[in-house]
Amino acid sequence: MSAKKSPAELKGIFEKYAAKEGDPDQLSKEELKQLIEKEFPSLLKGPSSLNDLFQELDKNGDGEISFDEFLEVVKKVAQ
């Protein structure tokens, strides 16, 4: 997946994965894992990478990733 997606496309991708379980406006760790494995596989380089990434993105510490926090993934991919 290219990081050169429109905000609407990114929101659609986020919502597709967030809707799988729990809060449809938040990504759980498992949902984030699925999204990254399918959309941004280059971000997963080792077994602890997902945990590190999740902790880095979960700015408010609520155990879930909001769309704004998800955009940080997109920024990483675009660099």
Check if the beta carbon of residue 17 is closer than 8 Å to that of residue 35. Answer: yes
Provide, rounded to the nearest whole percent, the portion of the chain with pLDDT above 70.
82
- pTM of model > 0.95: no
pLDDT given for residue 79 in this prediction: 60
**pLDDT surpassing 70 at residue 37:** yes
pLDDT given for residue 1 in this prediction: 45
Mean pLDDT, rounded, of the chain? 82
Domains in the chain: ranges and CATH: 7-78 (1.10.238.10)
How far apart are the C-alpha atoms of 31 and 74, rounded to whole Å? 16
- Helix segments in the chain, DSSP class H: 7-18, 29-39, 49-57, 67-78
